[in-house]
Amino acid sequence: MESAFRSADIANAPTACSAVQVNRPRLPASPADQIRHLSMTTRTLRIAMNGVTGRMGYRQHLLRSILPLRESGLTADDGSRVAVEPILVGRSADKLADMAAEHGIEHWTTDVASVIADPSVEVYFDAQVTSRRFEALTAAIKAGKHVYTEKPTAETLTEAVELARMAQNAGITAGVVHDKLYLPGLVKLRRLVDEGFFGRILSMRGEFGYWVFEGDGQPAQRPSWNYRAQDGGGITVDMFCHWNYVMEGILGKVETVTAKAVTHIPTRWDEAHQPYPVTADDAVYGIFDISGGIVAQINSSWAVRVFRDELVEFQVDGTHGSAVAGLRRCRAQHRVHTPKPVWNPDLPATEQFRDQWLEVPDNAVLDNGFKLQWEEYLRDVLAARPHRYDLLSAARGVQLAELGLKSSTEGRRLDVPEIVL
């Protein structure tokens, strides 16, 4: 139970941003005023979406999140109905025009500065390549926009912290994609922690990855910039910011990191079928100390073939039970259902170990994780309050990636100091 309470405290604790003052109207005080307020005409929240022609920007953010929200609308905390209107922003006029026509979107532009200067646009969203993010977010925050962004928020910790500071000083609502915590598998894993299922949590092991084709024969299924350090690529930078909030959100604060980052595949072929040298790491093997004596070990690789049920899986072991969570499923085994295998290499295994785990039921409709976080973030914007997964949380992710790479280069374990804004 001890660890359950600890991690619940971490996830529910107000972040440093809770002190932010946002100058927005408060709910009317008297019931009569509230009734008048609720019958107010629907408001429209205009969201500039930059990088929407990319893989994440298009599939997860536009298609799976904002377009369904445009259909359904949002209900703010005060009960009022709010419409959502995307404005597509990017570099290619042709692609944006086609996308706008296909989805019946009225506004698109290649001029980022114009949407940032437009007072009718309240939220700026960024899913561009990482290397472009700091400059774009800085401009949006300075213009007083609320910002929602993909991770990592910046290429360096200094810039990530600077963004968090700017957002705090500007008093805007800032949110950073923490999609893994909204995945059905991890929602159920977190539920087990909250219920005290594990007893004292001992360890977590994570396996993430799949084979990303080199691009010479079959085309690569990820963009080539992912494999060039000079363009913001690398699996440590990409995944450690996820693993930081996963460990914080499920188990507790990450205290140390030991990592080995490697480039297994030295040459890949880009979108124009031209060979290029891989300058970024394509696998990282990390060990983390988590508060309360928990040890986590996570392998991340784009050069591994999948012998798992899902592309990412986390196993948590505790004194009273264990669970294995993927993107969607979560299976658990309690102490009383734990078999007692005896090591004997001379005999074949007599038990079907996988059959001894019980499925954890959904018990709720678990929608697309990106969409769920968008809804929560937009409700936070409407209520003029901070979002729980903010730029400070994102900076801790960038910090873990930076320290992971340093640990790998120097071949030693590093402490993760607390970031104070």
The CA-CA-CA angle for residues 131, 272, 237, to 5°, reads 30
- Quick check: 132 binds ligand NAD (CB under 6 A)? yes
CB of 90 to ligand NAD, least distance (A): 5
Dist CA 295 CA 287 (whole Å) = 7
Pairing state of beta strands 43-50 and 107-109? unpaired
DSSP reduced 3-state for 293: coil
CB of 181 to ligand NAD, least distance (A): 11
Subset of residues 142 to 171 that bind ligand NAD, contact rule: CB under 6 A = 150-151
- Tell me phi and psi for residue 227, to 5 degrees: -110, 10
* Residue entry with tokens 């669970």: 323
- Quick check: 215 binds ligand NAD (CB under 6 A)? no
Which of 45, 62, 88, 90: binder of ligand NAD (CB under 6 A)? 90
Which of 10, 11, 16, 56: binder of ligand NAD (CB under 6 A)? 56
Which of 24, 81, 91, 337: binder of ligand NAD (CB under 6 A)? 91
Nearer to ligand NAD, 224 or 322 (CB): 224
Name residues whose C-beta falls within 8 Å of residue 12's C-beta, 6 or more positions apart in sequence: none
Which of 28, 223, 255, 297: binder of ligand NAD (CB under 6 A)? 223
- Distance, C-alpha 223 to centroid of its chain: 19
- Quick check: 385 binds ligand NAD (CB under 6 A)? no
CB of 401 to ligand NAD, least distance (A): 11
Nearer to ligand NAD, 4 or 394 (CB): 394
In sequence order, the β-bridge partners of residue 235 are none
For the packed helices 2-12 and 235-250, what is the interaxial angle rounded to 10 degrees? 120
State the first-to-last Cα distance of the chain, in angstroms, to the nearest integer.
32
Confirm if 289 and 407 have CB atoms less than 8 A apart: no
- Quick check: 127 binds ligand NAD (CB under 6 A)? yes
Subset of residues 282 to 341 that bind ligand NAD, contact rule: CB under 6 A = none
Which of 22, 63, 129, 295: binder of ligand NAD (CB under 6 A)? 129
Tallying the residues shown for the chain, one arrives at 421
Question: Which spans of this chain sit near ligand NAD (rule: CB under 6 A)?
Answer: 51, 53-57, 90-91, 127-130, 132, 150-151, 177, 179, 223, 225, 238
